[in-house]
Amino acid sequence: MMIPIEVVLLLLLVITAITIARIRDLWAAVMFTGIYSFLSASWMLILDAPDVSFTEAAVGAGISTVLMLSTLALTGTKTRAAGDSFRPVPFLAVVVTGGMLVYGTLDMPHFGSPEDPIHLYPSPGFVERSEHDMHGLPNVVTAVLASYRGYDTLGETTVVLTAGIAVLLILRKGKDEKAYASKSNATGGSQ
């Protein structure tokens, strides 16, 4: 049974997705994608997956939004006027792809079924030990990522941090070049 906060988050996710698809202002679209990522991170947190929630908040709502806003600041926000004509080939491609995706889900096991392959692979002892080792955390995935694969998770976090620092250095370099160009223009060129 879904709790009220899950229903509210799902409703907000749907409203945000529709808004992103229909909005024409690029700045607002970028902001709404950040909001969508933040709502997705909140959803993952409610599903007891704080590791996935942290990554979505850092990458989706954080770095991606900053990169898109920086790109808009460098390129501008002018959009081309869309044609009013209906294009059957792209529409057909979308319908066929969507149909294949829906057809592919028909063979999937039912959600939460104990006979799912994912529930058959780990040994029961591993699952029982993970709850004890992580002091009662309800999510086995969190136990695996936080304890058994802690160094791997630390490495992934380090990669995300390094990528963020690299992006900041690149953006700063562009800012320094603009400042140098405006300074040389003010002094009458290079000497």
- Domain membership of residue 29 (yes or no) is yes
Is the pLDDT confidence value at 190 over 60?
A: no
Per-residue pLDDT at 1: 58
Q: Which of 26-40, 96-110, 151-165 has the lowest mean pLDDT?
A: 151-165
**CATH code: domain of residue 57:** 1.20.120.1200
Residue 91: count other Cβ atoms within 10 Å of its Cβ: 10
Query: Which pLDDT band, with edges at 50, 70 and 90, does 186 fall under?
Result: low
Q: Does the residue 118 lie in any domain? A: no
61: in domain: yes
What type of residue is 99?
A: G
pLDDT value, residue 170: 77
Per the domain annotation, does 139 fall within a domain?
no
Q: Residue 126 falls within a domain, yes or no?
A: no
Q: How many CB atoms lie within 10 A of CB 64?
A: 16
User: pLDDT value at position 32?
Assistant: 94
**The pLDDT of residue 37 is above 70:** yes
Picking from 163, 161, 140, the residue whose alpha carbon sits closest to that of residue 51 is 140
Instruction: List, for residues 151-183, the tens digit of each pLDDT value.
Output: 777 777 888 888 888 878 877 766 666 666 666
Give me the domain span that covers residue 8: 1-78
pLDDT-based confidence at 58, cuts 50/70/90? confident
| 26 is a domain residue | yes
Note whether 26 and 69 are within 8 A (CB): no
Assess if residue 47 is contained within a domain.
Answer: yes
Instruction: Look at residue 84 and tell me if it is in a domain.
Output: no
Please give the model's pTM, rounded to 2 decimal places. 0.53
Query: Looking at the 3D structure of the chain, how many domains does it have?
Result: 1
Q: Please give the residue that has the higher pLDDT: either 76 or 26.
A: 26
Supply 112's token pair: 């939460």
Please work out, in degrees rounded to the nearest 5, the angle formed at the alpha carbon of residue 112 by the alpha carbons of 111 and 113: 95
Mean pLDDT, the chain, rounded, equals 79
